[in-house]
Amino acid sequence: MRITYRDAMRLAIRDALLADPRVLLMGEDVGLYGGSYAVSKGLLDEFGPERIRDTPLSELGFVGAGVGAAIGGLRPIVEIMTCNFSLLALDQIVNSAALLRHMSGGQFSVPIVIRMATGAGRQLAAQHSHSLENWYAHVPGLRVLTPATVADARAMLAPALADPDPVVIVEHAALYNTEADVPEGLTCDIERAAVRRPGSAVSLVTYGGSLPKVLAAADVLAAEGIEAEVLDLRVLRPLDVASVATSLRRTHRVVVVDEGWKTGSLAGEVLARIAEECLFDLDAPPRRVCSAEVPIPYAKHLEDAALPQVEGVVAAVHQVIA
């Protein structure tokens, strides 16, 4: 069946609501409005206002309510409109959801799924465009997923809900309109990275909204006779370092592409792990392609210049292969 990433998320949420009466979706405009990215359109009519619960603009309050509901036996899916807005709820995610199990000596698991849109590319300027998923990937107690394909959007939610601990799902807003054929009965391993394109000349390690750009760069490189392997991390915490190392041992060269800022980035963590695990497998110094160290600007040409682009990835590969 050919569906969009948006459809895939909606179908996954619908499946979850059908499968388990404890599941509910809550967030700003998830109900009558249909979701700010139209992910939940139609679900209110099917499941009613108890389970498709519109909230006031109270990120701290409704995420905290989600944490309490999870402790109380429900399986809430909490939608936060954007990663930038999630900072208003950071306390409940980092200081409570992630810590409660440990702080209570293992008495309280917090089975909450928190979904948020991330990323730039739509001229929404600095307060709607940042990629802060790396902040969540820093925190023990959380699992951080970044579905980059329609198939992952379709299949990641079920195992995330089955996880007894808090899961943050970060959806790049530029992906919602992407389309693919997705078979029925798809499953997803939320422990592992995935090779999206096999290759032997260089490993391109990426995740989320950068995946389509990296695949496009791999096409350009292939036309030049450079077969790049594209590895989609999929899970930012816990990082699947083994898959990164396996790819590197095949290619001996690596470029990490991450829409976050380079300083303190997930790309930096990936390179640090590579240095610890398999530095001597590298035949060339690694490279990172990240966003410029600037708040994302409004003007189209400046926004484009601030973000990782296909040309930049190709150029970085040329550097590590030269």
Q: Is there binding between residue 225 and another protein (CB under 8 A)?
A: no
Size of the site for another protein (CB under 8 A): 40
Residue that has been written with the tokens 């992407």 in this structure: 178
Binding to another protein (CB under 8 A) within 32-91 occurs at: 50, 55-56, 58, 60-74, 76, 91
Q: Is there binding between residue 319 and another protein (CB under 8 A)?
A: no
For the record, the structure tokens of 112 come out as 């909450």
Residue that has been written with the tokens 């399986």 in this structure: 75
Using CA atoms, how far apart are residues 147 and 257, in angstroms rounded to an integer? 15
Smallest gap from residue 23 Cβ to another protein (A): 11
**Are 302 and 126 contacting, i.e. CB atoms less than 8 angstroms apart?**
no
Which is the catalytic residue, given 59, 133, 259, 269? 59
Smallest gap from residue 142 Cβ to another protein (A): 9
**Which of 293, 288, 290 lies closest to 274 in space, CA to CA?**
288
6 or 234: CB nearest another protein: 234
Using CA atoms, how far apart are residues 67 and 13, in angstroms rounded to an integer? 18
Q: Is there binding between residue 165 and another protein (CB under 8 A)?
A: yes
Instruction: Give the relative orientation of helices 266-278 and 241-251 as an angle to the nearest 10 degrees.
Output: 70
Q: Is there binding between residue 27 and another protein (CB under 8 A)?
A: no
Using CA atoms, how far apart are residues 155 and 182, in angstroms rounded to an integer? 10
Which is the catalytic residue, given 28, 79, 128, 133? 128
Bridge partners for 52 per DSSP: 25
Binding to another protein (CB under 8 A) within 119-148 occurs at: 140-141
**Running DSSP on this structure, what letter comes out for residue 119?**
-
Binding to another protein (CB under 8 A) within 288-317 occurs at: none
24 or 267: CB nearest another protein: 24
Using CA atoms, how far apart are residues 67 and 111, in angstroms rounded to an integer? 8
97 or 274: CB nearest another protein: 97
Instruction: Say whether 59 is catalytic.
Output: yes
Catalytic residue list: 59, 128
Q: What does the binding site for another protein look like in residue numbers (CB under 8 A)?
A: 22, 24, 50, 55-56, 58, 60-74, 76, 91-92, 95-96, 100-109, 140-141, 164-165
